[in-house]
Structure 1
Amino acid sequence: MTISRRALLGAGAAAATLPLIRAEAAAPFVGRGAPAWYRFRFGDYEATVVSDGSLPLGKPDDAFTGSRPGEIGALLRAHFLDPNAATLEQNALVLNTGRHLILFDTGMGDSMGEASRMFGPTTGRLLRNLRAAGIDPAQIDIVALTHAHCDHCWALVDAQGNRNFPNAQVAVSEADLRFWTDDANKRGPAFMVPFIDGAKKNLAAYRDRMIMVQDGREVVPGVTAISAPGHTVGHMIYAIASGPQVMINTGDLAHHQVLLLRHPLWEFAYDTDPKLSAQTRSRLLERFATDRPTILSYHFPWPGIGNLAKEGEGYAWMPTPMDVTSLG
């Protein structure tokens, strides 16, 4: 059915002839939303997605490269998205296996002062949302990092350098640990200096409790690391298995649910090796569209749970309907 502008205006004119009912808004605007967490069962496990807030990237053409002029804007408009501003979510997963309580990535935090707000004031909400979800940060026994970028590890410590997860070990690839704590890598884009300073501060606090994750090896029973290099040198994703069910925490394999799924070989400005990242993304997206595991994406629309389907030369994101009884 097509609804024309003329029909809409006609409906408005008809409504104007109805008796007027005086109504006043007696209640003030609340001005805040609910705590952002979402809990669901996954096989024998309990999973909770906790938001660190939204992460605005600014002009999409500056962050996503490799397109023809006007192509990004047209694609975003076709999906009812702002063509002038790309906004990502930050969906951190907490997995309770019954033996371990694992947090995957920490969000931005406030450990680096003004640098922690380099993407604006809407990040850094993970700790308060953890507590709202009934999870004490002291209960976390493993923080599994997909990589050591600011929006994934800067909440390991607070502004004073104290551990936010005092009883946790930190699982990270050795390649990322070495790269992001090496001052010799402070070259290239301007963001490299704060990224390295922040990683050094946050990772150093856990230097006596590190787990070096390796491709194809379990971090704990049921959670296996998979190498997905390019976005960073040691970027990892994690396969979570409970019985026949498999969920892949894809970290930063793809940052945008439209741009980098429809065009996996486009590049992203914050990739350490953009061409390798694009090849890794293309290869793994094809695998996931074929094998059809549940996907938990860190940067896709809240809460980042869904599936991938092949569509044309790219892929489509199919969000999983949320169980409203699980909303926080």
Structure 2
Amino acid sequence: MTLTRRTLMSRLGAGLALSAAAPLRVWSAVETQLGTARITSLSDGYLTLPASFMFGPMPQADLPPLLERYGLQGDILKPDCNVTLLQVEGRNVLFDAGSGSAFQDSVGQLVDALDAVGLAPDDITDVIFTHAHPDHLWGVLDDFDDPLFANARHMIGRAERDYWLDPATVDAIGADRAAFAVGAARRLEALEDLETFEDGDELLPGVAAVATHGHTPGHMSFEVRSGSEALIVVGDAIGNHHLAFARPDWPSGADQDLAAGAATRVALMDRLASEQMAMIGYHLPDGGMGRVERGEDGYRFVPLGG
């Protein structure tokens, strides 16, 4: 497997290309060649989140030394958002669709990222969702509520689809995430030909679904394999490069099911470290591509070039 990195420039925000004084955001496109397949991590921008959103349910007495170790000071986290592009046998496959323009101002850069690698939304042949949170799903519709990737098949795990389309979800999910449920249902309903799959299904040649439930009830990861080489697109099953690695068994407030999310994270860390399989994490730094290594205390994320 050959890994390379390219750094590209993308203007932050719609319409800023008209202004010479507009701020620029630098983002990394990290590529790997896996047999005949090219895999590229593209930036959709970054989220702005209160630190308590993630750290709230963790053991508070044990938290400060780890926050200091990783330089996690202050009340705000700004995790990257990495959308994976798979190009193989004439197909341009996206894993997730980014946030679009309706979630946060710091995200919604995927169309610019595609343009930087020579692709337009109409060139995408398949969109496969890890789950239906806003930063993964909401970019699937354009500003007129039409499917942005007009020529693509759209696929999502059956359990994930059923959860977000259940009318009871908006009341059961909690007030702080009710907008997630409303937004997900509207977008999934707009995808009239939405296909579903189950754990273990081969979605495309060499691409298999891997159940990693907990972050959401039907969260899926995807193993991309060519011969003896493989890479796993983990979505939000591993949600950051610091405490998720150091203490994968700790509950994360980003997960909807705290216990299931932690159990999934522990199992996934063990597999990735044991098999030394490459991975892409949606919210990991530097394009999110790297490997998992065991340390004396937990695990650590080794990014490209690390």
1:190 maps to 175
Q: Does 1:241 align with 2:225?
A: yes
2:211 maps to 227
The runs of 5 or more residues in structure 2 that have no matched partner are 1-19
Which of 178, 186, 199 lines up with 2:162 in the alignment?
A: 178
1:18 maps to none
1:4 maps to none
Paired residue type of 1:47: I
Q: Is the 8 A contact 2:42 2:83 kept in 1?
A: yes
Q: Is the 8 A contact 2:84 2:95 kept in 1?
A: yes
The runs of 5 or more residues in structure 1 that have no matched partner are 1-27, 323-328
Share of identical aligned residues, percent? 30
| TM-score under structure 1 length normalisation | 0.82
2:55 maps to 64
- RMSD of the alignment, in Å? 2.0
C-alpha distance after superposition, 1:20-76 (max 9, x if no partner): xxxxxxxx98842446533332221112211011112222x4422443335434313
Q: In 2, distance between residues paired with 1:189 and 1:57?
A: 18
2:244 maps to 260
2:84 maps to 93
Range 247-256 or range 308-317, more displaced: 308-317
2:11 maps to none
Q: In 2, distance between residues paired with 1:282 and 1:276?
A: 10
Q: Is the 8 A contact 2:138 2:183 kept in 1?
A: yes
Q: In 2, distance between residues paired with 1:254 and 1:71?
A: 20
Which of 73, 76, 81 lines up with 2:67 in the alignment?
A: 76
Question: How many residues of Structure 1 are paired with residues of Structure 2 in the alignment?
Answer: 286
2:9 maps to none
Residue 263 of structure 1 deviates from its aligned partner by: 0.7
1:325 maps to none
Paired residue type of 2:48: P
Paired residue type of 1:284: L
| TM-score under structure 2 length normalisation | 0.87
Which structure is higher in strand share?
2
2:268 maps to 284
Q: Is the 8 A contact 2:170 2:182 kept in 1?
A: no
Residue 176 of structure 1 deviates from its aligned partner by: 0.8
2:30 maps to 38
List structure 1 runs of 4+ shifted beyond 4 angstroms: none
Q: Is the 8 A contact 1:182 1:196 kept in 2?
A: no
Which of 160, 171, 184 lines up with 1:199 in the alignment?
A: 184
Residue 289 of structure 1 deviates from its aligned partner by: 0.8
Pair 70,124 (structure 1): closer, same or farther in 2 beyond 3 Å: farther
C-alpha distance after superposition, 1:95-151 (max 9, x if no partner): 0012421100111112xx4xx12xxx2111111211122111111111010011111
Range 82-91 or range 168-177, more displaced: 82-91
Say which one has the larger Rg: 1
Q: In 1, distance between residues paired with 2:124 and 2:158?
A: 22
Q: Is the 8 A contact 1:155 1:202 kept in 2?
A: no
Paired residue type of 1:224: A
Matches within 5 A, 1:137-176: 137-176=121-160
Q: Is the 8 A contact 1:50 1:130 kept in 2?
A: yes
